[in-house]
Amino acid sequence: MLMLSDALSAKNGYDVAVVCQKESEIYKRTRSRKIAVEMNSQISAMYKLAKIIKSEKPHIIHCHHPKAHNIVLLSSFLSKIPDIVATRRVSFPISKNPVQIYKYKTKKNKKIIAVSEKIKQNMVDIGVEPERVPVIYSGTDFSRFNPSIDGSKIRKELNIPRDAFVIGKIANYSFWKGYEFFLDACRIISEKINNCYFIIAGQNTDGTGMKRELIKRNIYDKTSAAGFRNDIPELIAAFDISVNASTGGEGISGAIRESMGMEKPVIATDVGGNAEIVKNEKNGIIIEPGNAQTIAEAIMSLYRNSEKRKEMGKNGRKTVLENFSVNAMVSKHKKIYEELMNGKS
């Protein structure tokens, strides 16, 4: 959302206003014009957004989160709503309850952008017309995520030996991110290979709950639980392999795209849209979800084959440069916006 809004407002002549909570991470990081509001509840946010719509008179409102989508639809009952575009980023099946069905099927949504083909299929399955669900892959800044970045500073910060083999996972500590299976795989690997170390990063990965899980598996001394980080390129640079172990919900993992951009071989579970970017044995390895032994075996197979790791890394960067650039993402969004404003959609 930040890359899209900043690119549109900076280079493409769009007047973009980012509506967000005051002092939020988005508020701090956006370079676009921003409108900060206190959203104590979705109902209070509904009234505040309705006022913003009346004063700003936008042509299009683009919702980038399910709660934002809720608030915009609620506001549509209070003010004349412009065209609504919503992005769906997770591949969980849509609940069959009437409210959820209305949320996505209502014609107030001119477009529902899916970030993977799997998500589009979920929409079509509940009756949303396929032409209203374009697929636009999220973009990644590959000038920032590139293989020239040095990871030695991170290894030093985390007390990881320079010659260690590092397996990394970047994901918030959530039930569907597969940490249980990834950590079990780390235990299996640590019992067989002495020089393997592990890095985990994401919101809540540095909490007491995670510490307890690491101690239980006897991998605490070999695992750096880094928590929420803003230096993700440097962190990935310290990896030898990047792992996505999610059990569901993924659109297409951002950490996969970023790791590929840095020529790191990736191992990813076959959930959501992961298989749309990871081509098995070509630019990474696709494995079944929820199986620690399978994760461990995939990691150990790459550990033993440096040439294969290098080849997968090169192929991975080529894949993402061709299909997951910021320019491609922005141009596809522009096309949709302009069709709506010209009344062609």
pLDDT tens, residue by residue, 50-76: 999 999 999 999 999 999 999 999 999
Out of 34-43, 191-200, 291-300, which region has the weakest mean confidence (pLDDT)? 34-43
Whether 128 shows a pLDDT value over 70: the answer reads yes
- Angle, CA 139 vertex, CA 138 and CA 142 arms, to 5°: 150
Whether 345 shows a pLDDT value over 60: the answer reads no
d(CA 139, CA 329): 5
Backbone angles phi, psi at 30, to 5 degrees: -70, 140
Average pLDDT over residues 128-133: 97
pLDDT for 326: 93
Give the position of tokens 């081509």. 279
Whether 164 shows a pLDDT value over 60: the answer reads yes
Whether 31 shows a pLDDT value over 70: the answer reads yes
Tokens of residue 198, six digits:
């592990």
Q: What is the pLDDT of residues 16-30, one digit of tens each?
A: 999 999 889 899 999
pLDDT for 137: 96
For the CA atoms of 45, 50, 54, 59, what is the dihedral angle to 10 degrees? 90
DSSP label at residue 269: E
Whether 344 shows a pLDDT value over 70: the answer reads no
Whether 309 shows a pLDDT value over 90: the answer reads yes
- Domains of the chain and any CATH numbers: 2-139+325-341 (3.40.50.2000), 152-323 (3.40.50.2000)
Q: What is the pLDDT of residues 167-221, one digit of tens each?
A: 999 999 999 999 999 999 999 999 999 999 999 999 999 999 999 999 999 999 9
Confidence of residue 110 (pLDDT cuts 50, 70, 90): very high
82 vs 88 pLDDT, higher one? 88
Burial class (CB in 10 A: 0-12, 13-18, 19+), 269: buried
Tokens of residue 280, six digits:
């098995």
Torsion-angle region of residue 13: left (phi > 0), alpha (psi -120 to 50) or beta? left
pLDDT for 23: 84
d(CA 90, CA 268): 16
Q: Letter for the amino acid at 322?
A: E
Q: Which residues pair with 243 in a beta bridge?
A: 267
Question: In sequence order, what are the residues at sequence separation of 6 or more whose Cβ sits closer than 8 angstroms to the Cβ of residue 55?
Answer: none
Mean pLDDT of the chain: 95
d(CA 211, CA 200): 11
